[in-house]
Structure 1
């Protein structure tokens, strides 16, 4: 008998082996299907995360567009108010000029009447004294009276003309100086108001253009920063100090892209002194309006994440991912103990921003531990990556622009108040001019009544010179009707 197994036994063994393979095939296929399903679920989750970020950016763009529309509406209202103020000011200036001319006419009439009253009163007294002393020589004095009338008329005309010219010149100078003193500040404030509104309009136009460009370049900048950070982190090969320096460099690039100004709106590596004698040095302090500060830390270690990217074994990758999550939590715990809010001179908010320079590193950590954000917020730490930090800093930059605009609006309101006060003063002066005109008119009418009313009034006595035979070629034009009637009655009585 041969020692080799028979062909039947070999065939039977092969049949059993094939049957075993066929029996195990469903299990193998199930494992392969599960592996594919796990990979597909991971990709779907990442796609959902990126979609959420995209929707957030779209909402932010809509908010910016709504703000731009509101600013355009405010600018339109400001232009309308400016046109109304300008038209009203022009009308008030024209009215002031008309009132000044009326005042000049009234003062000229008043001065003329007063001069006539004084001169005629003196002349009348002299004539009465002369007539009483020389009544017995009326014939001889007639010639003297005629000469006196001529001299009186000439003197009266010369005196009235001189007084009229002098008063008119003085009134013109005083009125011009008063109106210039009132209207020059008004014109200057109106000019400043117009320049402020035009500057604000130009600033709004520039900022709208900048905002559109920033929204367009936001995603491109975020993608470039993430790719650069990932490539350099892979090249660092676990050097923690080099990773920290790189994180600070990425943070500085994000700050530059945010539009904030160093020294005014943020500071780098500021050495401070706490209450315990320590000297903490925050990576970045971002200043907010109303004397508030925001601290940013960029010293998180990414060594485990870099090793995970280089690992090929799935089990090793899972272990390194857990180590990466633990490293982030350790840094959160360490950062929460620094108590930046207790440092004198630092008015920080209730939380600190922990900056992860590689966006994918933060996404992987949150995917592995979905409570990581809650864990950090419970310790007053907020986790941010380049895209979320850039959006936050852009918001801070926008808050600073709003603060500057509010300051400009307060200055405009202050100047508008001064403009209103000047306008009120102008109206008060115009009211005073009107009252002066009314008083001048009353004085003028009173003087005319005193000169030409009552028995033996002054105008009637002067006109008697003509009736006595004086060589008069003209008759007094200011003689009222009542005075004329009395003069005619006296003349008829003399004829009788």
Structure 2
């Protein structure tokens, strides 16, 4: 049964750790996408502003050309009207003259006037068509560009709407997941496990697992009131010292505040959160963990699971740090606790270096003594070799002087050994080398 409970707790810890990690990663990705979309929106707005300026300039040019064309039309119209009036005046004048005398001249003149007028009209129409073509050459590209800009603006608007819809859906999904996590963290036992997981993660990042042992949720009986005290973490320090860490922080008001949209209600909840932190500091100071655990300094570390939790409480109660110091409660967030644990880890490294130095010194003494003993053995071996050489030389001399002469007499008397003869025993001249190193010399 105990094993199943432990497995369930570990599974819950892993589950919530994975959820928090995935939500953090997804939130970071969404924030990156939002920043990217906002940047693209700004660039699109800048592009639209530039295009709008170009459109305005083109429209101004178009208006100017249309005004010029209208003026030219009016001028040509006036010329035609003047020619028509001149024709009428000439006709009336020639009618007043004698029809018989001037009939031929009048017809000729009218024909000539008509030819002149027709020529002028043709020139005017030709010039008008040329100007109309020139204006069309200028206006047509402007019209095409305006249509292209309108199409691009429509496409950009469609893309923007689609992107914001996708982002809206992702933000909605993230808000739902965040809401589910927030609802889960409202349960005290889930929040406690999450706090322990955060605390263990901080210890791992600080590298304290390699240099010291830590125990989560140890229990001890209060010596004064017989109450059960349960700190969340005991950090072992060099020289047998230890620091107590408590992570049981009230977060109900803070969770209510961040889920509120009404600013006034949010402020009230955050104020209640700061008061709850202050009360927890006072209660934690009264526990006096340093009297319950041996070799513990007169302080206890209050671990807050997030920087936002501490900053929100500090905003409405700026004296929280001073109150904590007065009550011998040191407030720590993940960043400051990592710094504290890194300092302790450095102390452990120095302790290990000192221990290794002691071991090296002891091994050095042992090695030095053994080298001296080896020097004695080498000197004894040298003396033994020298004694053996001396005995060999004496024996060889005795063999040459006493044994070989008698043996040669056997040879003279006809006693021979097949394929064998007496060989002289040579004297050994080499002696063992003496050791001159001071450490290996023996008196």
Q: TM-score range by the shorter chain?
A: 0.3 to 0.5
Which is greater in Rg?
2
TM norm structure 2: 0.43
Indicate the structure whose relative CO is greater, using CA pairs within 8 Å and at least 6 residues apart.
1
